[in-house]
Amino acid sequence: MCKSRANVPALFVQAFFSVVLMAMVASIQANNSIPQDDPEKMISHLSETIIEALNDQRAELEGNPAKIKAFAKTYVLPYVDTPKMARYVMGRYWRTTTQEQQEAFVDEFTTTLLRSYSQSLLKLKITSVSVRPKIEEKPGRVTVSSEVVQADGNKTDVIYRAYLDKKNQKWMVYDVTVEGVSMLLNYRKTYDSEFSRSGVDAVIAAMKEKNKEFNGVPNGSV
């Protein structure tokens, strides 16, 4: 098995977003819904369509972040609990911030995820994805492991963590681990350092500035 830990950050971004987004696009075009009654079926369904979706949509989506963002906001976010992720990423700062600050961070964190993933999406060339049986961590929480194989022969272990939203009785993804690197832990460490150094408001302002262009706001605009 050929694995490169030096590529983990890029693979982490690309594997997670492209598996979810491109499979969603293919399923939407085929008028098929993504099952959320079973997390293993959900991940398997996404994985089964990714290769065809990437090949079919690559030219159309390349250089069109606005279209990628539109698809993601409409068809990906309902399957990924970004507010839950944002709360975990803020960690101890969540309890000491106002509701306005919390909502602002959730918004900018979600946009940051979409911006980061869309920039890396089309660089990924996957030849196959195999999904293993789900493992129950505790009632209402599971992990679903998969192996992503790229055209260059590189194989990467990607583990999805999902929980059952009892209100809607739907499974939601809330973390992805690539080669032992957790998305949530990685972001939490990064933002904890930034919050400690600059303060919550300054961090949110910096995120908003970086997200401006992705949101269609020209540089220099207020």
At residue 4 the predicted structure's pLDDT band, cuts being 50, 70 and 90, is: very low
At residue 214 the predicted structure's pLDDT band, cuts being 50, 70 and 90, is: confident
How confident is the model over 163-174, as pLDDT tens digits? 999 998 999 999
Average pLDDT of every residue of the chain = 79
CA distance 8 to 23: 22
Q: Rounded to a whole number, what is the distance in angstroms from the first to the last CA of the chain?
A: 50
Q: What is the 3-state secondary structure (H, E, C) of 108-167?
A: HHHHHHHHHHHHHHHHCCEEEEEECCCEEEECCEEEEEEEEEECCCEEEEEEEEEEEECC
Does 210 have pLDDT greater than 70? yes
At residue 11 the predicted structure's pLDDT band, cuts being 50, 70 and 90, is: very low
Query: Mean pLDDT across the stretch 187-214?
Result: 94
Domains of the chain listed by start with CATH number = 5-211 (3.10.450.710)
Cα torsion 212, 213, 216, 217 to 10°: value is 50
Query: Mean pLDDT across the stretch 16-33?
Result: 51
Most trustworthy range by pLDDT among 27-41, 59-73, 129-143? 129-143
Does 78 have pLDDT greater than 90? no
Give the length of the chain. 222
How confident is the model over 139-172, as pLDDT tens digits? 999 999 998 888 888 888 889 999 999 998 999 9
Judged by DSSP in three states, 174 sits in: strand
Q: At 161, phi and psi to the nearest 5? A: -115, 130
pLDDT (0 to 100) of residue 172:
92
